[in-house]
Structure 1
Amino acid sequence: MALRGNFDEALRLVREITQIHPIALVNSVNDYRIAGQKCAAFEVMEDLDGRLDALCIPVGNAGNITAYWKGFQELHAEDPSIGLPAMHGFQARGANPLVRGEMVPEPETIASAIRIGAPARWEEAMAAMTGSGGTVADCTDEEILDAYRFLAREEGVFCEPSSATSVAGLMKHGVGDAQRVVCVLTGHGLKDPQTALDESPPVVPCEPTLSALEKILVG
């Protein structure tokens, strides 16, 4: 089904229905989801031999940043030689409740996956950023799209705009003197194919002849 309204309205409704019917709510409200997502922090530290200065991540409902921080803390508690990275959360300018310090009633941004005005994990996200010496900041839609294009052009990575917010935030705000930095890309480009279509050049019609093809390709 397609609910009329935004993400926050949908989350309010599914919270209500799961209280009165045996339906599982499996988004960032669910602690089991956070427990699963924290494994990403384990993988990052395993790949980097336990050395990471900063992690940049998009923040919408704030489940990912909560989960990563939980994972990093558990690793550090088990092995203090594994440091705790600074957690830098980045939001879209039109959906930036953590930056504003208040809910955004009508969030609007091209970054659809983080178009959220009342994050479910608000307190945990702020604790992660402040407790780690990180920051919370925002980027405009155009800055997010610039990072989206950059990733495709320079790295061959096709992600959705929301994912590119981590890179947009790094490019705009930086992360101090951190040397080893990871930007988390949270979604494949096909999660939001319309943006890719909108960013693509127009299709050029071509007759099925060699001369017509040469004219278009070579001029």
Structure 2
Amino acid sequence: MKLHCNDCDQRFELSEFRYACSCGGLLEVEQDFSRLDSDELKRSFNQRLSDRMSPYASGVWRYKELIFPELEERHLVTKYEGNTGLYQADKVTQYTGLRKIWLKCQSENPSGSFKDNGMVVAVSHGKSLGLDKFTCTSTGNTSSSLAMYSSLIDRQAYVFVPNQNISLNKVLQTVAYGAKVIAFDGTYDQGIAFLEKHHPELGLYICNSINPFRIEGQKSIIYEIAQYLQWELPDWIVVPGGALSNVSALGKGLADLYALGFIRKLPRVALVQAEGASPFHKMMSNKQDTLQPEPHPNTIASALNIGHPPSWKKARQTLRNTDGITVSVTDEEILNAKAIIDQSGIGCEPASASTVAGLKKLHASGEIHADETAVCILTGHLLKDTEVLRKYHLENARGALFANPIRQSALDIDQIITL
């Protein structure tokens, strides 16, 4: 295993661990799969599905040979993350107009979001280095995941959160896990820049998506989808885009599976951003070579409220490799899609619902056809942002097509019948 820079092609040994190349490009973990037997791995992965108590019961460490083979077992951290549901829902299928879709509910992770898949590997790597201070800048999900794993191994998490456009639920979850939370005036992007500059003098190990081991863990989401579907992936994988680490990770996972012969073809990837925070979509739509940051991103989907996504180059490579596309959706489209997902008995936070909103929009525009199939990645739990729920259902929010208000009534049979 080595660290590789896609920008300038430099390589570094793991013992020279760093977050970025000397040229400024982000690094990724490079692995040699040439000696792996895919049939043997499939058997091993299937056997581990029956495990319950070892680290390999994890939906991440089940695939250790593809994620971090060199990590000693004593350093493996786990809360049996992954193992999340892959569901079909008639209401959602009808809403999007496609023949068949699945919802991959990363909301069922221990901290309630997809961040656990990547965070468990980053924290395990930090533990193997003997470090005891972990940090991130976050709009919420990253912070709660880091706080959970840090407390699990009795390490301290230092979390930086912007004062605006975040969900208090996520911050309270982070506080409850025991992290030291520092709220600051500024954006997510400014928080990342601060940590990149000052982490050495503060003695902090960064667990944001600039950490290449985060990406290695998040690859497991696509591995798990493929295994659950008997290694036959659908036509499309639809992903929400904030920092763009998830689409980068899933793209890397798809490349792994194809190179190893686990899958026969690559599905296309659709990346969905909120209109108020869509610098990557604008770059791709305008066929530009460089991303122009949005200094004041603004969307009700707090996990997407990022104006300068650090992983945009990796995300662009994923779309190029998979003949992928991008789309942006309004907050109203996000919230109405969320209501459909919630009322299907599945539920998700607003950022997750952007995938269903985006799929519906892409079908309506003819980009995705009715006879195609798709998996939508749902990244966060229904209760990650209860303020959004309150406004949509109880305050008659603008454009709320599927609001379900609380009915007031006396305990009178005649009144109850009329409700």
Q: What TM-score, normalized by structure 2, do the two folds share? A: 0.49
Are residue 9 (structure 1) and residue 190 (structure 2) matched? Answer: yes
3-state SS of paired residue (2:378): coil
What does residue 357 of structure 2 align with? 168
Cα distance between partner residues in 1 of 2:185 and 2:377: 30
Q: Deviations over 1:131-171 (max 9, x none)?
A: 21110110011111111111112x21221100000111000
Q: Percent of pairs identical after alignment? A: 34
1:66 and 2:248 aligned: yes
What whole-Å deviation, never above 9, does each CA across 1:35-58 have from its counterpart, x for those lacking one? Answer: 001011100111112222210000
> Per-residue displacement from partner, 1:160-214 (whole Å, max 9, x unpaired)?
100000111000013534723100000002111111121223555555xx42xx3
Partner of 1:49: 230
Which among 177, 190, 194 is matched to residue 383 of structure 2? Answer: 190
Partner of 1:157: 346
Following superposition, the deviation at residue 80 of structure 1 comes to 6.2
Alignment match of 2:327 (pick from 137, 144, 149):
137
Q: Distance in 1 between matches of 2:330 and 2:263?
A: 38
1:18 CA displacement = 1.4
The more displaced of 172-181 and 29-38 is: 172-181
Secondary structure of the corresponding residue to residue 218 of structure 1? helix
Aligned length: 214
Tell me the C-alpha RMSD between the 2 structures: 1.8
Task: Give, in whole Å, the separation in 2 of the partners of 1:111 and 1:119.
Answer: 15
- State how far apart, in whole Å, the 2-side matches of 1:148 and 1:3 are: 30
Deviation at 1:86, TM superposition (A): 0.6
Code of the aligned partner of 1:186 = T
Q: Distance in 2 between matches of 1:35 and 1:92?
A: 26
CA distance in structure 1 between the partners assigned to 2:388 and 2:346 by the alignment: 15
1:20 and 2:219 correspond: no
**In structure 2, C-alpha distance between the alignment counterparts of 1:203 and 1:179, rounded to whole Å:** 38
Structure with the bigger RCO (C-alpha within 8 Å, sep 6+) is: 1
For 2:265 and 2:202, locate their aligned partners in 1 and report how far apart those are by CA, in whole Å: 43
- CA change 1:204–1:81 in 2 (3 A) is closer
TM normalised by structure 1 equals 0.91
Amino acid at match of 1:184: I
Which residue among 336, 361, 372 is the counterpart of 1:146? 336
Rounded to whole Å, the distance in 1 between the matches of 2:321 and 2:277 is 23
The answer (yes or no) to whether the contact 1:55–1:181 under 8 Å persists in 2 is: yes
Once the two structures are superposed, the pairs formed by residues 107-122 of structure 1 within 5 Å of their partners are 107-122=297-312
Q: Distance in 1 between matches of 2:229 and 2:263?
A: 13
Q: Work out whether residues 51 and 180 of structure 1, in 8 Å CA contact, stay in contact via their aligned partners in 2.
A: no
Give the aligned residue type for 2:320. Answer: T
More helix, by proportion: 1
Q: 259, 267, 271: which is aligned to 1:77? A: 259
Tell me by how many angstroms 1:130 deviates: 2.1
1: CA distance between counterparts of 2:415 and 2:313? 56
For 1:170 and 1:87, how far apart are their aligned partners in 2? 11
> Which of these residues, 174, 179, 191, is aligned with residue 372 of structure 2?
179
Unaligned 5+ segments in structure 1 are: none
The whole-number CA distance in structure 1 between the counterparts of 2:200 and 2:277 is: 28
* Runs of 4+ with deviation above 4 angstroms: 202-207
Q: Does 1:98 align with 2:287?
A: no
Question: Who is 2:317 aligned against?
Answer: 127
Report the structure, 1 or 2, having the larger strand content. Answer: 2
Q: Is the 8 A contact 2:219 2:252 kept in 1?
A: yes
Task: Give the 3 Å change call, closer, same or farther, for CA 80–203 of structure 1 in structure 2.
Answer: closer
1:216 offset after TM fit, Å? Answer: 4.3
Give yes or no for the alignment of 1:200 onto 2:393.
yes
Task: Report SS of the residue matched to 2:206.
Answer: coil
Equivalent-residue separation in structure 2 for 1:28 and 1:82 (angstroms): 29
